[in-house]
Amino acid sequence: MRILATYNLKGGVGKTATAVNLAWLAASEGARVLVWDMDPQGAASFYFRTRPKVKGGSKALLRGKHDLDELVVGTEYDNLDLLPADFSYRHMDAHLKDRNRPVKQMLRLLRPLSENYDYVFLDCAPSISVVSETVFKVADALLIPLIPTTLSLRTFYQILDFLERKKLRHVELLPFFSMVDRRKKLHNQIIEELPAKWPRMLHTKVPYASEIEKMGVNRAAVGDYARSTPSAVAYRALWNEVKMRLGLV
């Protein structure tokens, strides 16, 4: 089982769209996939038409009162399941802090899933917290969508600083450009500059596109309702690149 987290300190950069679309692509290739919507805003749950509610909330969940497996629900797609969000996840940080050794606790929750799933996507909330720090420790890779803007770059460097300070070097960092608008001069400039400084960046650029925005209307993965559009093609390319980087192809 591979654990892939979609993360950025900044909100509105396309984390959830990435988690949902890559999870859908993985499932369409024969993988059994779980998306854990860790963001109390519950956007991934919304896309999967599921009420953001978890029995007992994050406290019960982290106490191990229920196995994660019991809380999982199916989605519109075969082999793609969801662990929904819950509004109480906003206190997850405090609940995780209460536990001794949060990483161990998180792994204890995730480990039993390995028999049922090939991939777990963790769709994280936009913050730096005990939760995100724990995610950095348990995930195999961090998918970091970056809008090519100055502010977005700033948060990326903040993430890198944080990982360096905490000596979190094992996790594979997979930043990529998201919501790219080629008509904007600044976008083009940053797309040129950043890979020169950070050559391990993924090459795929997910465009800013109305098909992606329509995910909220269709409540489905882009590839499901707009299969041949540039956005669907970009997510497919992104997924192939991720698999390549993780040695899965």
Considering only 12, 63, 73, 230, the residue that binds other proteins (CB under 8 A) is 73
Pairing label, strands 172-180, 141-146? parallel
Pairing label, strands 119-123, 141-146? unpaired
| CA neighbor of 170 nearest in space, from 138, 125, 208, 144 | 138
Tell me whether residue 53 or residue 59 sits nearer to other proteins (CB atom): 53
Q: Give me the sheet containing 80-83, strands edge to edge.
A: 73-74, 80-83, 33-37, 119-123, 2-6, 141-146, 172-180, 205-207
Q: x/- site string to other proteins, residues 75 to 94, per CB under 8 A? A: xx-xx-x-------------
Q: Is residue 66 within the footprint of other proteins (CB under 8 A)?
A: no
Q: Is residue 133 within the footprint of other proteins (CB under 8 A)?
A: no
Q: Quote the least distance from Cβ 168 to other proteins, whole Å.
A: 28
Q: Is residue 229 within the footprint of other proteins (CB under 8 A)?
A: no
Considering only 11, 12, 74, 112, the residue that binds other proteins (CB under 8 A) is 74
Q: Is residue 55 within the footprint of other proteins (CB under 8 A)?
A: no
Tell me whether residue 46 or residue 136 sits nearer to other proteins (CB atom): 46
Considering only 151, 196, 217, 249, the residue that binds other proteins (CB under 8 A) is 249
Q: Quote the least distance from Cβ 56 to other proteins, whole Å.
A: 15
**Which residues, at least 6 apart from 4, have a Cβ–Cβ distance to it below 8 Å?**
22, 119, 120, 121, 122, 139, 140, 141, 143, 242
- Residue 160, classified by CB atoms within 10 Å of its CB into exposed (0-12), middle (13-18) or buried (19+), is middle
**Binding stretches for other proteins (CB under 8 A):** 27-32, 48-51, 72-76, 78-79, 81, 118, 219, 248-249
